């Protein structure tokens, strides 16, 4: 008789191997998380007293109930681990803003997650996308020197290849350099600042005099002229963006400090149709060919999708289309007629500047009330469609409070106590006079 091997033993071994392998994987993941967490320190209100003056800290403020904070956690731990492995001087921490209220107040935390760098006496707020690359770039830029020295032509070319826009101080120590360094301390959150000597620059860069501040972008360069450009900080704020580029909501927010208008071609979010490509190409051509005429007043770019602009104009914007946005007062301009050529687009820009095209929107009281209503509508509409009972309850609660308050103010009357101890309601003056006349007649 042939003998059989017990199959259960083999199966049990296989199950044991699978279970062991699964446990080992879980242990490995726990170890990796614990290892990454070792580079992120939990901070509380004592941090302000224990922190050394020369320390630089990248801090995330969170709330335990915040979903976005939890989504950022693994990214934050990877950032802590990577900065440590690179030998960065930036320490990484996080703080529960609901318990460490003193620290949150010091940084004026308003929403979650909030990301800051504390370096010396400066606190820098990160307003970019919550991605590892974006936050790492922010940490490396702010955590390093405010003004980085380019001591060779190779370093200069390397910096040029890495940055779309870069500001360079050229020359020896001067009052201009002191002003440039002060501006760099404040605006390092937005862009990079460098310094070098004349012999490091390419030979085709012509400077009228030294010292000088130069911005390199769009394959060319501009030199700061105080008589023409005014304040150095304002000039840097105006010139810290490329002449034409893809613009998102984060960039639009940071453009608000520049006092420039923004001409946008609004196109599809994923794949552009032929008409959208024409709109985008036309803005790019005008930006390049008419930079000397309109570059001081306009940024040029394109935006994929219309969610941001729909909220800005409080309505539906068609795609593709053109719009000019004034970020300083929340105003916007739309072409009065169809733009079918370069000439039509130039007429549109001219009309915006000379006031012949009426501005829409704005930030006056009426517009703010309208925006409040629009935001409530946008928020509640999907809620009513998905959970109508919960939405009705959510809306009814403030209405009940408002109705109660109005009733107490308008209809509830205070009372007096007469000699017999009975309550006498106080009437309105007109009713009191009417009651007096009635009493006289009865007498």
CA 427 to chain centre: 55
| DSSP β-ladder status, 331-333 and 360-361 | antiparallel
Question: Within 10 Å of residue 182's Cβ, how many Cβ atoms?
Answer: 13
The whole-angstrom separation of Cα 19 and Cα 38 is 28
DSSP string, 221-290: EEE--HHHH--HHHHHHHHSS-SEEE--HHHHHHGGGS--EEEEEEE-SSS--HHHHHHHHHHHHHHHHT
392 as an active site residue: the answer is no
Catalytic residue (choose from 66, 273, 392, 409): 66
Burial of 245 (0-12, 13-18, 19+ CB in 10 A): middle
In Å, how far are 117, 420, 440, 441 from 436, measured between CA atoms?
73, 21, 6, 9
The whole-angstrom separation of Cα 233 and Cα 138 is 20
Query: Residue 64 in 3-state DSSP?
Result: coil
Q: Both tokens of residue 360?
A: 């829409």
Q: Which helix (H) or strand (E) holds 312?
A: helix 307-313
Catalytic residue (choose from 69, 273, 392, 410): 69
Residue 60 near residue 94 (C-beta atoms within 8 A): yes
Nearest in space to 239 (alpha carbons), one of 269, 218, 211: 218
Q: Which helix (H) or strand (E) holds 31?
A: helix 7-37
The whole-angstrom separation of Cα 301 and Cα 263 is 6
The whole-angstrom separation of Cα 216 and Cα 29 is 46
Question: Within 10 Å of residue 258's Cβ, how many Cβ atoms?
Answer: 18
Q: Both tokens of residue 201?
A: 């620059």
273 as an active site residue: the answer is no
The whole-angstrom separation of Cα 255 and Cα 211 is 28
The whole-angstrom separation of Cα 96 and Cα 273 is 47
Residue 264 near residue 303 (C-beta atoms within 8 A): yes
Catalytic residues: 66, 69
């Amino acid at each position: 008789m042939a003998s059989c091997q017990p199959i259960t033993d083999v199966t049990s071994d296989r199950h044991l191997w699978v279970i062991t392998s699964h446990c080992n994987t879980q242990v490995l993941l726990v170890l990796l998380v614990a290892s990454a967490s070792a580079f992120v320190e939990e901070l509380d209100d004592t941090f302000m007293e224990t922190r050394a003056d020369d320390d630089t800290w990248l801090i995330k403020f969170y709330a335990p109930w915040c979903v976005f904070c939890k989504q950022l956690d693994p990214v934050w731990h990877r950032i802590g681990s990577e900065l440590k492995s690179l030998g960065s001087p930036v320490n990484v921490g996080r703080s529960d803003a609901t318990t460490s209220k003193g620290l949150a107040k010091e940084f004026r935390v308003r929403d979650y997650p909030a990301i800051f760098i504390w370096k010396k006496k400066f606190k820098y707020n990160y307003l970019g996308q919550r991605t590892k690359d974006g936050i790492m770039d922010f940490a490396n830029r702010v955590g390093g020197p405010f003004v980085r020295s380019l001591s060779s032509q190779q370093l200069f070319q390397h910096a040029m290849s890495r940055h779309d826009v870069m500001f360079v101080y050229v020359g020896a120590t001067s009052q201009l350099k002191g002003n440039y360094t002060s501006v760099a301390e404040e605006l390092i959150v937005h862009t990079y600042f460098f310094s070098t000597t004349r012999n490091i620059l390419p030979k085709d860069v012509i400077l009228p005099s030294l010292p000088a501040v130069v911005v390199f972008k769009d394959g060319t360069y501009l030199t700061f002229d105080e008589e023409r450009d005014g304040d150095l900080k304002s000039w840097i704020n105006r010139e810290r963006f490329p002449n034409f580029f893809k613009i998102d909501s984060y960039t639009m927010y940071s453009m608000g400090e520049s006092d420039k208008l923004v001409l946008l071609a609004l196109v599809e979010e994923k794949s552009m149709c032929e008409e959208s490509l024409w709109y985008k190409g036309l803005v790019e051509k005008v930006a390049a060919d008419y930079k000397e005429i309109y570059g001081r007043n306009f940024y040029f770019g394109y935006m994929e999708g219309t969610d941001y602009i729909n909220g800005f104009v409080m309505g539906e914007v068609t795609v593709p289309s053109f719009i000019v946005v004034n970020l300083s007062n929340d105003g916007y301009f739309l072409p009065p007629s169809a733009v079918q050529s370069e000439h039509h687009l130039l007429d549109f820009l001219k009309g915006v500047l000379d006031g012949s095209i009426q501005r829409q929107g704005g930030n006056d009281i009426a517009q703010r009330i309208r925006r409040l209503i629009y935001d409530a509508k946008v928020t509640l509409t999907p809620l009513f469609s998905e959970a109508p009972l919960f939405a009705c309850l959510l809306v009814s609660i403030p209405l009940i409070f408002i109705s109660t308050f109005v009733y107490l103010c308008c209809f509830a009357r205070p009372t007096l106590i007469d000699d017999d101890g009975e309550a006498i309601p106080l009437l309105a003056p007109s009713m009191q006079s009417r009651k007096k006349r009635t009493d006289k007649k009865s007498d």
